[in-house]
């Protein structure tokens, strides 16, 4: 994982937060943590995390309500959220997903598996964080998302449409904006 990947950990169990922080920092993540739902909402704006690990049962606002509020904000609606909780019933998991969680992990869990799950979620939602981005001078190409940017501006968006003659993939350009 890239060293610049920012993780917000919202967990009120200090021993568990220490353990999770240790494993993620060892994996190269920058970790900011809190045990309070209200503070988590503030930190999301200050830290701008790439992913959030959110305990359901925390101090102040519940984790499920924090998730709901983050999904309503334009600035955080696409930030991946993984819920960490002791609530393992099917109805709780469904509620977590319906509220906007990208993944749901029940306690107890393996810290190594949690690091792997976070990496998998980031690869799916933010390919640039998974190192699937090429750059040369002012050009950037997001290989997984099929986007090209020049000086930060989107130049073209390519979509793979299928397999052409002789089983060769073909790509159709669907929009072009040149400066």
Q: Domain check: are 54 and 104 in the same one? A: yes
Q: Domain check: are 50 and 126 in the same one? A: yes
Q: Domain check: are 54 and 86 in the same one? A: yes
CATH of the domain at 13: 3.40.50.2300
CB 6 within 8 A of CB 48: yes
Look at strands 51-55 and 153-163 and give their pairing: unpaired
| Domain-located, residue 50 | yes
Q: What is the pLDDT of residues 109-155, one digit of tens each?
A: 999 999 999 999 998 886 655 556 677 788 877 665 667 878 878 77
What share of residues in the chain are helix, strand, coil (percent, to 5)? 35, 30, 30
Omega prior to 2 cis, within 30 of 0: no
Q: Domain check: are 90 and 36 in the same one? A: yes
Q: Domain check: are 142 and 116 in the same one? A: no
169: number of Cβ within 10 Å: 9
What DSSP string runs through 40-65? HHHHHHHH--SEEEEESS-BSS-HHH
Which domain range does residue 92 map to?
Answer: 6-130
Q: Domain check: are 31 and 85 in the same one? A: yes
Q: Into how many domains does the chain fold?
A: 2
Q: Residue 60 — φ and ψ, nearest 5°?
A: 75, -130
Q: What is the pLDDT of residues 38-88, one digit of tens each?
A: 999 999 999 999 999 999 999 889 999 999 999 999 989 899 999 998 888
């Amino acid at each position: 994982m890239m060293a610049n990947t920012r993780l917000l950990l919202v967990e009120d169990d200090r021993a568990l937060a220490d353990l999770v922080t240790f494993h993620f920092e060892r994996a190269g993540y920058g970790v900011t943590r809190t045990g309070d739902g209200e503070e988590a909402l503030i930190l999301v704006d200050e830290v701008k995390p790439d992913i959030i690990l959110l305990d359901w049962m925390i101090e102040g606002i519940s984790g499920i309500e924090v998730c709901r509020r983050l999904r309503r904000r334009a600035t955080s609606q696409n930030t991946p959220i993984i819920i960490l909780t002791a609530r393992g019933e099917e109805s709780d998991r469904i509620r977590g997903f319906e509220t906007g969680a990208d993944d749901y992990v029940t306690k107890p869990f393996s810290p190594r598996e949690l690091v792997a799950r976070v990496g998998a979620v980031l690869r799916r939602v933010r390919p640039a964080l998974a190192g699937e981005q090429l750059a040369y001078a002012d050009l950037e190409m997001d290989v997984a998302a099929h986007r090209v940017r020049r000086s930060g501006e989107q130049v073209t968006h390519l979509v793979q449409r299928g397999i052409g003659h002789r089983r060769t993939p073909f790509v159709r350009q669907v929009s072009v904006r040149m400066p």
